[in-house]
């Protein structure tokens, strides 16, 4: 049976930089659209990849050097007009990573673009980005997702600011902190207290067994 469908994965990789939600874009090496900024992506290799998640991991590793950030399937985009090469199907993923893990490299030339100002992208990549940003914002209202944009250890204030940056709204400090016992995806790291110029703050980490914790109600 001959289907002639191009099957690929694309990844929207989010990070938080300068108080803004940004995504990773890179210049395409090959046609179509060689030289243009686009999402990291690539063909699914039936001989190499266990499943499409493995394809996404491979693409992330090859194009950004990342090993295991938070990675979740987003949506599958398909049709005859999205790629000039013909009918295509792309399983889109989105990933979250702390800025510090995006190390510039001579080999890997990627760029960070604010979600609020993503340029025109080839294929239907703008649609994919919009879809991913919406998913991230929606899910951030009731899950622990934003933790993955922070470093291993972080303070409650930093976590609250992360939620605020993603959601674009100010949250109440005492409400946010009162919710924490309920949201038991955090664990305080007793020995680690961040010293700064001012009052030191308790450091927390995301519990490894709670990488995606869902809570009812809103943050």
Partner DNA sequence: GTTTGTTATTTTCATATTACCACTAACAAA
Partner DNA sequence: TTTGTTAGTGGTAATATGAAAATAACAAAC
- Which residues make up the interface to its own copies (CB under 8 A)? 1, 3-7, 43-47, 50-52, 73, 75-80, 86-87, 89, 91, 141, 216-218
Q: How far is the CB of 101 from its own copies (least distance, A)?
A: 27
- Residue 14 DSSP SS3: strand
- Residue 213 DSSP SS3: coil
Distance of CA 187 to the CA centre of its chain: 23
Q: How far is the CB of 165 from DNA (least distance, A)?
A: 15
Residue 30 interface partner, choices DNA, its own copies, none, CB cut-off 5-8 Å depending on type = none
List, in order, residues 6 or more apart from 52 with CB less than 8 Å away: 9, 44, 73, 91, 93
Contact footprint for DNA (CB under 7 A): 155-157, 172-175, 177-179, 195-202, 217-218
Residue 62 interface partner, choices its own copies, DNA, none, CB cut-off 5-8 Å depending on type = none
Residue ranges of E strands in 39-142: 41-43, 70-79, 88-96, 110-114
Residue 200 interface partner, choices its own copies, DNA, none, CB cut-off 5-8 Å depending on type = DNA
Q: How far is the CB of 48 from its own copies (least distance, A)?
A: 10
Nearer to DNA, 4 or 174 (CB): 174
Which residues are bridge partners to 90 per DSSP? 8, 77
Nearer to DNA, 108 or 156 (CB): 156
């Amino acid at each position: 049976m001959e289907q002639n469908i191009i099957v690929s994965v694309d990844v929207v990789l989010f990070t938080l930089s300068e108080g803004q939600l940004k995504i990773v874009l890179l210049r395409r090496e090959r046609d179509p659209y060689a030289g243009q900024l686009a999402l990291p992506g690539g063909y699914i290799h039936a001989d190499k990849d266990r499943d499409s998640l493995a394809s996404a991991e491979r693409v992330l590793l090859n194009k950004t050097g990342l090993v295991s950030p938070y990675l979740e399937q987003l949506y599958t985009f398909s049709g005859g007009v999205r790629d000039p090469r013909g009918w295509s199907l792309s399983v889109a993923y989105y990933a979250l990573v702390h800025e510090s893990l995006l190390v510039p490299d001579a080999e890997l030339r990627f760029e960070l673009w604010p979600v609020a100002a993503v340029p025109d992208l080839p294929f239907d990549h703008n649609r994919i980005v919009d879809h991913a940003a919406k998913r991230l914002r929606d899910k951030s209202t009731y899950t622990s997702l934003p933790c993955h944009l922070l470093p291993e250890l972080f303070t409650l204030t930093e976590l609250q600011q992360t939620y605020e940056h993603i959601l674009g709204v100010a949250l109440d400090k005492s409400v946010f902190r009162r919710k924490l016992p309920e949201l038991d995806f955090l664990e305080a790291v007793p020995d680690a207290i961040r010293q700064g110029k001012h009052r030191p703050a308790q450091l927390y980490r995301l519990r490894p067994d709670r990488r995606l914790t869902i809570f009812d109600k809103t943050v």
